[in-house]
Amino acid sequence: MFHLEDEVLLPFERKHIPEHYLPYYQAKRSNFFASVQSSPRLWQYYQLLDKILIDEFDDMSTAHDPNRMFPLALFFNAHAKIRVSLELAFSHCMEEARSTLRDAIETAAFAHYMLSDPTLQRIWLNKDEDQGSAKAFAQAFEKDKKAKLFNGLDALYTQWGRMSETGSHSTPQAIVTRFKMVETTTSVQYRMNYTGVEERKWEPETFTLLLIVSQIEQVVFEDFKSRLTFDESLLQNRTRASGLREELRQQIISKHGIKPPKQKTQPGTPSTQSP
């Protein structure tokens, strides 16, 4: 396991990071390096997904259809958020990672939705023009998101909701694990855990975040498939990523003893589980 020592910090960092901030900064750095070292295949999978997205964007960098370039720019923005999210995840800042990935999901959904109707781009761009434009935006993009914005993206909609409850919003699920209560004979102290999560929780959760990234990449590929399907190297990397994903899935299930979810019993169907 990697242990952060003084030589890991650059002279500039040691000089300019104040003493009160240094423990937090060191913890994030230590967690990041330890995560890459302890889960190299997970890091490899993330880097492969990142390379795939970059190659897809390179393939589409020359404009052929003006109506498709603005949605592509939103996909670029989603990728930027993905990178920040996974850097936070590998630093064990899971709540912040989920919050940022939620933004990436929503941004990708906006891009995908706009490709279905170019007039939606004008509505999005004119949102702040006047009250009528704001209402048009709300009607087009905010009302009934599942049926409109996330139409055809059911899996991403489900994850968007989960990321909202466990990352973006101030719900018990999002913050309760961050606090620690230390009791002594004379007092009770509350402490905030800014970074850090047990590996048995961190690795499966980070893999789940990468599954979401894979789903976003699938949306990008399908939306621009007519051009991307001719990139043989890209197709080979996508096949490699699929194989590595399933390898990691089985490895994490075995390593952490993850049980399969219980099957929900339909009304009127006899249960096969023991009482």
pLDDT reported for residue 249: 95
Query: What number is the average pLDDT over the span 254-267?
Result: 75
pLDDT-derived band at 32, boundaries 50, 70, 90: very high
- Residue 4's pLDDT is 46
What is the distance between the alpha carbons of residues 225 and 186, in angstroms, rounded to a whole number? 65
d(C-alpha 168, C-alpha 103), whole Å: 9
Residue of 9 and 111 predicted with greater confidence: 111
How high does pLDDT run on average in the chain? Answer: 85
Question: Nearest-5° angle of CA 107, CA 155, CA 72?
Answer: 30
Are 90 and 43 contacting, i.e. CB atoms less than 8 angstroms apart?
yes
Alpha-carbon gap, residue 236 to 225, rounded angstroms: 15
Q: Of residues 17 and 271, which shows the higher confidence score?
A: 17
- Most confident region among 14-28, 145-159, 175-189 by mean pLDDT: 145-159
pLDDT, tens digit, for every residue of 99-128? 999 999 999 999 999 999 889 988 988 888
Tokens of 10: 């650059």
Number of H helices, E strands in the chain: 12, 2
Residue 154 above 60 pLDDT?
A: yes
pLDDT above 70 for 220: yes
- Contact criterion met (CB below 8 Å) for 118 and 67: yes
Residues in Cβ contact with 157 at an 8 Å cutoff, skipping those fewer than 6 apart: 109, 145, 146, 150
Residue 2: predicted pLDDT: 45
Amino acid at 123: I
